[in-house]
Structure 1
Amino acid sequence: MSYNVAVVGATGNVGREMMNILDEREFPVKEVFAIASRRSVGMEVSFGDKTLKCQDLATFDFSRCDFALLSAGGDVSKEWAPKIAKTGCVVIDNSSAWRYDMDVPLIVPEVNADAVAGFRKKNIIANPNCSTAQLVVALKPLHDAATIKRVVVDTYQSVSGAGKEAMDELWNQTKGIYVTDAPTPEVFTKQIAFNVIPHIDVFLDDGFTKEEWKMVAETKKILDPKIKLVATCVRVPVFVGHSEAVNIEFENPISAQEAREILREAPGVLVIDKREDGGYITPVECVGDFATYVSRIREDPTVENGLSLWVVSDNLRKGAALNTVQIAELLINRGLIEKRA
């Protein structure tokens, strides 16, 4: 059985990656439609060996489709996801617009696949924040084994998480520095080239940023509301690939070797952990891969039952496009969606 799929936001970083992953994973596609805003109508995007022309979001008939994969920003999703869902087309949304709605499942298939069963309440499924997705993939098997009490995570997030303009800014600033042009921040609050910025999304009243709050709220919704988590989210001059330094405190004893063995068997995880020069994964090496990589697994001697990990993943893939496609696959594999007439 094959399905019609609309990719909304097809000209963006994540939209293009959705096209690539649908093709790479041989998703059972009958027809793919590239959907964008009116100003991008007619723009060409690739799907496998085909070239698709973008169609107008405002006029496209979503009743023709079984799935709509949305990556067009929160404002667009708030307006259009309910409209699309009412046509009977299942919406899988990559923005933050629906993540905290109690009637919308927030899904990472390796972690909480069973929660997808409630999607018919609004016919919308939410994709988590990129930094949360890779984190919970690594946490889930360890939580099952020893019960996590508290997590302290510091993220090192690539500029692609802020969109194409952010990638262009890093590129232009880097080139400019070499020819003595002073960098001019436009997308970011400060120079990003050869720098790090401890600020992602807006500041909240308590001093945390919304990105940091998202990691707390989403981990609780996806994994366990009892887990205490605190995050510091940092933008780094890397084009693609998010990294996280993760410190975990457990209720029950767990050794580094036990954690290593558990993670090696966990779905979606690849362990690269040699205690030698280069025996770990960096963002450059994860680009284009599906896995969440875990390295530097070690015991934390400062707390009882503590571990520290290094977690790396392609944020455009597992953090966005791949997870979206995996959710669609989950619905098909569990028989929760039938092809529409």
Structure 2
Amino acid sequence: MRASTQTQRTNLRRGALALACAASLAVLPACSLGPVDLDALMGNGTSVAEAKAAARAARSTTLTADELHTAGTLTVGLLSSESAPLLLSSADEGLDVDVAYALADELGVDCTFVSVTGLSDAYDACDVVMGVRAGDDADTAVAGSYAEDAMALFSRASSGTKATAADLAGKTVGVQAGSVSQRALASAGTQAAEQDFTNLNEAFAALEAGTVDYVLCGAYPGGYLAAVYDGISCVGTLAQPAYLGVGVKAENNTLFSKVLEGMDVISSNGVLDVLRGRWVGGMSRLDTTSVIDGIQQADANVDEQADADAEADADAGTGTEAGTASTSTDAA
């Protein structure tokens, strides 16, 4: 019997932490490390709180008080409609939160969060908003990208495998009943049989057991669940992904430039890869090459974000295991 999903997610997060530590050591100058003080590492030297205080005292920022709602603090908007793994319903954990902290560290400021329902008046309360797509709002400029928005197909396949429409013919695809994914499967011309499930947990359990051949769902909710199973990976998307980045009020050119620079740094130095790995394991970045050959693109390109929001509101704080999804379906 395999370990519980909670245990497996804990192991994944420990692995991600180890990678983060290795990455931080890798960027130190070769002459700066010196002998390792085991007493300090074991807690007999500088405490974590002291180390954080020292790091804050040593950092500098180019952000001015005029550019921020609160001097020295990046106020970050988290969309209340967002779902796991971008944001757990407790609103204090998720990829959005991790990326915001990393960005604030790079900008040399503290970080605080507010919940927002949309972009129209979000900047009255915050400096930036997480999880924004280009074109979501005419008054918002999007800096960088840290996640992809698409409907994706998962199967019992090794990482790097890509499906084709021909592979799906005659196979069984699990979907959440009432979801946008269900409609997209019907319109994509795959010649696959559909099997409905109440939620994604049941669908992925069936995929692991071999009673379905594929599961179709939002890419990141699927990646979040696939990370706790051995041998399940994303094998393609139904349409070209959209990209999620950090929204900044379009007229705030100076702040946008600095946020964009910060996002470029954490993208290039491996920090984003470590954070992403914490939430979706080894799922590769999705791009135009991820699109499954032979799929009817025009029909399949429906509202992936609504699908993701409806299909996976994972919440470790409601008594369910981390990595589980809600039973809600989209109303579209």
- After TM superposition, the score normalised by the length of structure 1 is 0.25
- Structure scoring higher RCO (CA < 8 A, sep ≥ 6) equals 2
- After TM superposition, the score normalised by the length of structure 2 is 0.26
Higher strand proportion? 1
